[in-house]
Amino acid sequence: MSLNWRDIATFYRYETRAALRERSIVINTLLIPLFMYPFLLWSMFTGITYVVGQVEGLVSRVVILDHTAGHEDFKSLVAKDDKQKLQPPVSKTQALEQIQAGELDALIELSSVAAGPKSPPGNFSARIYFDRSKDRSDQARQRLEESLGHYRSQWLENEAARLQVTGKQWQGFLIERRNVASGREMGRFLLSTMLPLFLVIMIAVGCFYPAVDSTAGERERSTWETSMSTAASRQSILTAKYLHVATLGSVAGLINLVAMLLSAKAVLAPLIQQIGEKFEFRIPFAAVPVMAVGTVLLALFVAAVMMLLASFARSFREGQSMITPFYMAIMLPVVFVRTDSEFTVLQALIPIVNVTKLFAQAINGELRLVTTGLTLLSELVCILVVLRLAGMVIRFEDFMTGSYHGSFGKFVRERILNQKRTKPVGEVR
């Protein structure tokens, strides 16, 4: 193999310079990773906050049908709440019609429960009617439940006091929920669910256009042969192109990672704080090198496959359609892999899945030597396999000169699996 690093550097600079002057590459490799997902994230959370705020800002119109005696205080409690407005009493049927028509938000019906040896006098049951298909009605239900809960506790305390029973005696057990995760851990959890998926997608997006542009695009522009007629060896030219595509894929991934982290800190944290939670969006220091290496290896793998597929195309459009199945295949594990489940040894051997899980593990600060090592090794093996395949393909002159008609699949069937029909006419260097 004849590699000249000076030539590789010259071609690499040319490819990168030319790529950065192409609008679609700049948009997909730099601008989308930098702005799109952070923007989507911001839009999503702002939208949710806005909708929640809108619903919360509305006063709930409620009707109380009280068939009990001695629970007027509940009515007073609801009346004092400025988020709820008691409507004039109507019949149950009318109230239900009004709820369905959206003129009323909820109805609460209080009924007496006959006093017995096991229940105190004045005991009551409550039934709330609401329309779950309307946010506003559901909100009214929540508010009524909250008011009823307060009233019930107060009533039980009063009854207990009247019977000279202490709080500890009548409260058999209390259910208390307490999240032991710190704000930092919650932040890591949220990041580990989002970031690996975005990172893999961004690396694929970052490689996509440069891979097509530097192969099929060159053929379409009739500059492929221009490159091949220079004093640089074919291997040097292809190496430069490959490194160029992988660099843009890595850059897209890393830019997205930084943008997502910054936007999580600047946008997500304040929004989450509004709903009473405090998340800290920081990833462990040890995660950085692992994620960087994982990103580069994944970009090298994706770039190799995409270039191999696209180099059979004669036009940009054809190149895009040849790469798209692989692009979709990358998305599948990303969509179906659960980042919060255990990272098994088997998963560490499956490309794309392993990197996604490794990123999640790194962000959560739970890196394990075995899965980390296996993931990196598996990625490396995949890269070497694809490069070996590429090495076999570029020996064929008609592939290099662009006179071969067909896809990568057809080529493999004809030339690699069934070598007796045709063989390399001559090794081109």
Partner 1 sequence: MSEYPVTVENLAKSFYDESRGEVRAVDEISFECRPGQIFGLLGANGAGKTTTLRLLATILAPTGGTARLMGHDIREEPEEVRRNLGFYSASTALYPRLTARETLHFFARINHYPDRDRESRVSYLIDRFGLGSYVNARIDKLSSGMKQKVSIARTVVHDPPVLIFDEPTVGLDVLNALEMQQVLGEFRTEGKTIIFSTHIMSEAERLCDRIAIIHSGKILACDTLESLREATGCRYLEDIFVKYVRGEHVRPTVAGG
| Cβ at position 233, least distance to partner 1 in Å | 5
24 or 49: whose CB is closer to partner 1? 24
Stretch that binds partner 1, among 4-12, 29-37, 51-59, 247-255 (CB under 8 A): 4-12
C-alpha radius of gyration, the chain, whole number: 32
What lies within 8 Å, CB to CB, of 303 at 6+ separation is 207, 210, 211, 242, 245, 246, 249
Q: How far is the CB of 314 from partner 1 (least distance, A)?
A: 13
Task: Kindly state the smallest distance separating residue 429's Cβ from partner 1, in Å.
Answer: 5
Range in contact with partner 1 (rule: CB under 8 A) among 7-15, 96-104, 261-269, 338-346: 7-15
401 touches partner 1 (CB under 8 A): yes
Q: Which stretch binds partner 1 (CB under 8 A): 75-83, 92-100, 106-114, 421-429?
A: 421-429
- In the chain, the N- to C-terminal Cα span, in Å, equals 9
Q: Which of residues 371-400 bind partner 1 (CB under 8 A)?
A: 397
For partner 1, the closer CB: 242 or 279: 242
Write the interaction track for partner 1 spanning residues 232-251; mark x where CB under 8 A is met and - where it is not.
xx------------------
Are 273 and 177 within 8 A, CB to CB? Answer: no
- What is the separation of C-alpha 159 from the centre of its chain, rounded to a whole number of angstroms? 52
- The C-alpha atoms of residue 83 and residue 55 are separated, in whole angstroms, by 11
Q: How far is the CB of 18 from partner 1 (least distance, A)?
A: 4
Assign 314 to helix, strand or coil. Answer: coil
Binding mask of the shown chain, residues 196 to 235, with x at each position contacting partner 1 by CB under 8 A: -------------------------xxx-xx-xxxxxx--
If binding means CB under 8 A, how many residues of this protein chain bind partner 1? 29
Asked if 419 interacts with partner 1 (CB under 8 A), we say no
Q: For the residues of 275-295, what is the DSSP string, one character each?
A: TT--------TTHHHHHHHHH
Neighbours of 336 (CB within 10 A): 8
Cα–Cα distances in Å, from 396 out to 63, 211, 311, 413? 82, 20, 13, 14
Q: For partner 1, which is the closer residue by CB, 21 or 132? A: 21
- Give the number of other CB atoms < 10 A from CB of residue 198: 22
CA distance 280 to 287: 16
Residues of this chain that bind partner 1 (CB under 8 A): 2, 4, 7, 10-11, 14, 17-18, 21-22, 221-223, 225-226, 228-233, 397, 401, 422, 425-429
